[in-house]
Amino acid sequence: MLRVQDLTIRLRHQDQPLVEGVSFAIERGELFCLVGESGSGKSLTALAIMRILDRGFLPPSGQVWLKGQGGTQDLLTLDEHGMEGVRGDRVGMIFQEPMTSLNPVWTVGQQIMEVLRLHRPELDAEAARRRTLEVLAEVQLPDPERRFEEFPHKLSGGQRQRVMIAMALVAEPDLLIADEPTTALDVTIQAEILKLIDRLREKNGMSVLLITHDFGVVAQVGDRVAVMHRGKLVEQGAARTVIANPGHVYTRQLIRALPENLPPLPPVSAGSRDTLLEVQGLRVHFPVLKGLLRRPVDYVRAVDDVSFDLSAGEVLAVVGESGSGKTTLGRAVLRLIEPTGGSVRYRGNAMETLDRKALRKARRHLQVVFQDPASSLNPRLTILTTLTEPMAAHDIGADHDERVERALKVLEQVALPPDTLWRYPHEFSGGQRQRIGIARALVLDPDIIICDEVTSALDVSVQAEILQILGRLRAERKLALLFITHNMGVVEYLSDRMLVMKDGRMEEIGATAEVIARPKADYTRHLLSAVPRVAEHLGRAAASGQV
Amino acid sequence: MTEQPRSPSWSRRILGEVLLRWGARLGLAWIALLTLVAVFAPLLANTHPLLVEDAEGWHSPMLTHLTPADTALLGAFFLALVLLFSPGAPLWRFLSWLGGLALIGALSLVLVSPPALVVYEQYREAEARGEYQRVVRAPIPYSAKDYLRDYADTGLESPRSSAERLHWFGTDENGADVLSRMIHATRIALSIGFIATGIALVIGVILGGLMGYFSGIVDIIGMRLVEIFEAIPTLFLLLTFVAFFGRSLYLMMLIIGLTSWSGYARYVRAEFLRLRQQDFVQGAIASGLSLPSILFRHMLPNGMAPILVAASFGVASAILAEATLSFLGLGLVDDPSWGQMLNQAVQSSTFNWWMAAFPGGAIFLTVFAYNLIGEALRDAVDPHSQSGRSAPPVKAAA
């Protein structure tokens, strides 16, 4: 169907190619996965096939052969007019971010019909409308008649991604390129979208090029897979074979870095389990304000009646999908957001009764690490200042030199070199910045660190490093972690107990192994079944292969 | 522990980015030239000779005629030069410059007293009588208010028309040298831009910062105040004040400053609202840092960039406002200003191109220079327009 040969992409004014000598072929009706970490050039490859690379790039060299009714064409030598007939018509594309891929000022139906009438000019208005409704039904949007008239802002992320798929499919392309179509979505919606793509592929007999960073997704739906590393294709083959017996060192590293394959964490010395934090009936309600005088007309219950406790050396995972209130919970415990009700007790002292001064002192014991490594450090300050300023505020260390010594020790614990101190945040990668974020929390010698999605912006190999650092710190310092995440693999790997949240309410709390083996709440069961797991799919595939 | 070489700081990187752009370099060069001209105006264009040698020996009529404003400007300039190359934190050096400026200003007012009656003709006549052995004159030997009354035939003269008196840019109706007047007018052009914008910045940053950080009721009241001030037409207010209180440069600066802060307040408010949600500010709060540290170390420096951009455009519009007012004949009476010179050009019965082209060109170039700097600054602080640094983000394709 599609044969890419020796594709090379470079930036203008830069000798080092970003994608070098990539060759692969996709058969008719096949689901081909392109896997790699960020910066590996997998998205660039897709953009080059569609010829929608940015102006900053030189025209790519190599060949991209696409088979059609009129024979086989090299897309890279086609003129712009010819490409218009390919894009959307013979090759459809879906992007990662469903929130920004739709034009907010047109209705869903208008946007799909525009694509259709461009590629099928022979259709009249009535036929185009019928076909659009048909394709909306095909992607399983409930009530297509109503959705047709609706504007994108009324749809959820998953529904928008369905609309994007409908738009890509409306002209019945032979090939669908999906660039991380589920990365921005919750795991339960991811499972539905993947199932949908797989079903449509079988029904229409089209080929799919699926770009992803998640081996779980590959194991679940992929026929064949190609692994990219720094612009080069290092390995390709049947998905099952590559995952079970990776041939290349890099593939092996990637698969070993999956949380389910990581070496077990050092155990925490069993001692007296003293309870550090008790949260009772915590509520955070945001008022919905209306009118000139901004009167509250309603409340959004972001966190509603959540209770748990946390003892030294324990990891409590807070799991939930986006909008479940897990981040708000973390911030309310720290009083970064004022709770509406309930109590938070640290070593028996109620946090909510503290005045400003006492709260500042108490914050020393409860620290936080954030999700986005890009915005979690002040770009104007050196790492030295970032690390020593909190120490000075809490009178830790007698003078500046002693604080520098402490900062160096902490940097060593998060495996960063001493010259880090004199640098600025922009000089570090995402993983390094996340480690600096952990170091900033550690310099105050806290008892509890709240980790808010600390690994979700990171590649899987970097995630593995961070998880191991956290596990080691927990064992060494008897640190308690409140680990907020949506990633089940990480939860199973790191946490002792888990708390499942949905729409601000607690669904379930219990020992991690217990909850995963015997989930009590329906929602937990639903969530767990949606998680793509490498081992499970391999086992199933092997079993069906023997039959 | 030995001090290691630091990486360049954020502000240094931004400065480097700005200087990469040729527009900013041209703009900065033009402003620097204007600054030099403004500071050294009495040495560049002056009827009083710089040095004369007569029967009593060498002396300098130029020095005896320096006004307190002249000495204060010269003092401030050399103090700035010294502080620029001395060690210390930039903020500390800036504060000590301000302190020095106040001291120099006070000293100048007390100590410098030029003769109340200025007789421009005395040196020309003395020279004609042969009283001086040697005379060193300024490059342009005419003061801004020297109307050449000792010559009988003065009036409008086109550039370089008269054989015995060289006027590069011609003279105006009173016989004063246009180039000299333009040189002395740079002071008004520069100072009105800086001081009016400075006043607006101080008010805007403080009010905007309060609105952004505390939000809620403070924000609601503040925004209404901003809306009220945005509804005041600056030019008409200026006209009214000039009509009631007479013509004063300082009043003009104050009114332009007091009416143009609302834009800066909006910028600072938006920046603070955005920064408050940033993780590093939340992290600073969670680390138990004090409120002043959070506001002034973590939030303000990160929010200053867009305000500086707006300020550089604000300087340009303040210069234009003064020029407009002078053009309408409501500027200063006798002191030269570019807008007032344009006004003169219009009022004469014949079209004297040199009186319109040179001051008009100076206004155009100065406003253009500030706009170039503002645009370069905006590009440098905007992460989306950073070209040629590292690979651009690929994900933007959606």
Q: Is A390's CB within 8 Å of B288's CB?
A: yes
Q: How far apart are CA A30 and CA A222, in angstroms?
A: 8
Q: How far apart are CA A32 and CA A197, in angstroms?
A: 12
Check CB contact of B163 with chain A, cutoff 8 Å: no
Banded pLDDT at B386 (limits 50, 70, 90): very low
Chain B neighbors of A18, CB-CB under 8 A: 391
Which sign, positive or negative, has the C-alpha torsion B181, B187, B193, B196? Answer: negative
Is there a contact between A367 and A449 (Cβ–Cβ < 8 Å)?
A: yes
What are the tokens at A168? 């890509």
Instruction: Determine the length of chain A.
Output: 547
What are the tokens at A113? 């019909």
Q: How far apart are CA A505 and CA A305, in angstroms?
A: 7
B57-59/B51-54 β-pairing: antiparallel
Low-confidence ranges of chain A (pLDDT < 70): 70, 268-273, 291-293, 536-547
Banded pLDDT at B144 (limits 50, 70, 90): confident
Q: Give the closest-approach CA distance of A212 to chain B in angstroms.
A: 13
Q: Is A331's CB within 8 Å of B282's CB?
A: yes
* Confidence at residue A80, expressed as pLDDT on a 0 to 100 scale: 83
Angle, CA B222 vertex, CA B217 and CA B226 arms, to 5°: 150
Check CB contact of B385 with chain A, cutoff 8 Å: no
Mean local confidence (pLDDT), B274-283:
88
Nearest to A43 among B9, B286, B395 (CB): B395
Chain A neighbors of B279, CB-CB under 8 A: 370-372, 375-376
**Dihedral over alpha carbons B329, B335, B340, B342 (to 10 degrees):** 150
What is the DSSP-derived secondary structure letter of residue B177? B
Asked if pLDDT for residue B333 goes beyond 80, the answer is no
* Confidence at residue B40, expressed as pLDDT on a 0 to 100 scale: 93
For residue range A240-259, list pLDDT tens digits in order.
888 888 889 999 888 888 88
Q: How far apart are CA B255 and CA B244, in angstroms?
A: 14
Chain B neighbors of A14, CB-CB under 8 A: 391
Q: Is B392's CB within 8 Å of A56's CB?
A: yes
Q: Is B279's CB within 8 Å of A370's CB?
A: yes
Q: Is B279's CB within 8 Å of A100's CB?
A: no
Banded pLDDT at B6 (limits 50, 70, 90): low
Sheet holding A19-26, edge to edge: A19-26, A2-9, A61-68, A71-74
For the ranges A320-324, B2-6, B364-368, the one whose mean pLDDT is highest = B364-368
* Confidence at residue B36, expressed as pLDDT on a 0 to 100 scale: 94
Asked if pLDDT for residue B385 goes beyond 70, the answer is no
For residue range B204-257, list pLDDT tens digits in order.
999 998 898 887 888 899 999 999 998 988 888 888 888 888 888 888 889 889
* Confidence at residue B146, expressed as pLDDT on a 0 to 100 scale: 84
Q: Is B288's CB within 8 Å of A360's CB?
A: yes
SS3 sequence, A343-401? Answer: EEEECCEECCCCCHHHHHHHHHHEEEECCCCCCCCCCCCCHHHHHHHHHHHCCCCCCHH
Chain A neighbors of B395, CB-CB under 8 A: 43, 96-97
What is the DSSP-derived secondary structure letter of residue A270? P
Asked if pLDDT for residue B34 goes beyond 90, the answer is yes
* Confidence at residue A171, expressed as pLDDT on a 0 to 100 scale: 84
Q: Which of residues 38-57 of B touch A (CB under 8 A)?
A: none
Q: Is B7's CB within 8 Å of A422's CB?
A: yes
Nearest to A404 among B1, B288, B392 (CB): B1
Give the list of residues 6+ apart from residue B215 with CB closer than 8 angstroms, or none: B273
Q: Is A393's CB within 8 Å of B287's CB?
A: yes
Asked if pLDDT for residue B316 goes beyond 50, the answer is yes
Alpha helices for B170-232 (secondary structure H) = 178-214, 216-230
Residue of B nearest to A334 (CA): B286
Q: Is A381's CB within 8 Å of B397's CB?
A: no
Q: How far apart are CA A14 and CA A16, in angstroms?
A: 6
Question: A302 phi and psi, to 5 degrees?
Answer: -70, -40
* Confidence at residue A272, expressed as pLDDT on a 0 to 100 scale: 58
* Confidence at residue B397, expressed as pLDDT on a 0 to 100 scale: 33
Check CB contact of B392 with chain A, cutoff 8 Å: yes
ipTM over 0.90: no
CA-to-CA separations, A96 to A93, A210, A254, in angstroms, rounded: 10, 11, 22
* Confidence at residue A369, expressed as pLDDT on a 0 to 100 scale: 92
**CB-based burial, B329-365: b 16+ in 10 Å, e otherwise:** ebbbeebbbbbbbbbbbeeeeeebebbbbbbbebbeb
Chain A neighbors of B388, CB-CB under 8 A: 13
Question: B171 phi and psi, to 5 degrees?
Answer: -130, 165
* Confidence at residue B189, expressed as pLDDT on a 0 to 100 scale: 87
Q: How far apart are CA B75 and CA A485, in angstroms?
A: 62
Check CB contact of B277 with chain A, cutoff 8 Å: no
Please, what is the average pLDDT of chain A?
86
Inter-axis angle of helices B178-214 and B216-230, nearest 10:
150
Check CB contact of B84 with chain A, cutoff 8 Å: no
3-state helix, strand, coil in chain B (%, to 5): 65, 5, 30
Residue of A nearest to B5 (CA): A422
pTM of structure = 0.77
What is the DSSP-derived secondary structure letter of residue A120? -
CA-to-CA separations, B301 to B262, B272, B296, in angstroms, rounded: 20, 11, 7
What are the tokens at B169? 């840019």
* Confidence at residue B79, expressed as pLDDT on a 0 to 100 scale: 92
Chain A neighbors of B278, CB-CB under 8 A: 375
Residue of B nearest to A180 (CA): B395
The DSSP string of B287-310 is TT--HHHIIIIIIHHHHHHHHHHH
Interface test with B, best of A100, A378, A406, A456 (most B CBs within 10 A): A378
Banded pLDDT at B128 (limits 50, 70, 90): confident
Check CB contact of B217 with chain A, cutoff 8 Å: no
Q: Report, in angstroms and rounded to the nearest whole number, the Rg of chain B calculated over CA atoms.
A: 25
Nearest CA among B391, B343, B336, B304 for reference residue B176: B336
Is there a contact between B31 and B368 (Cβ–Cβ < 8 Å)?
A: no
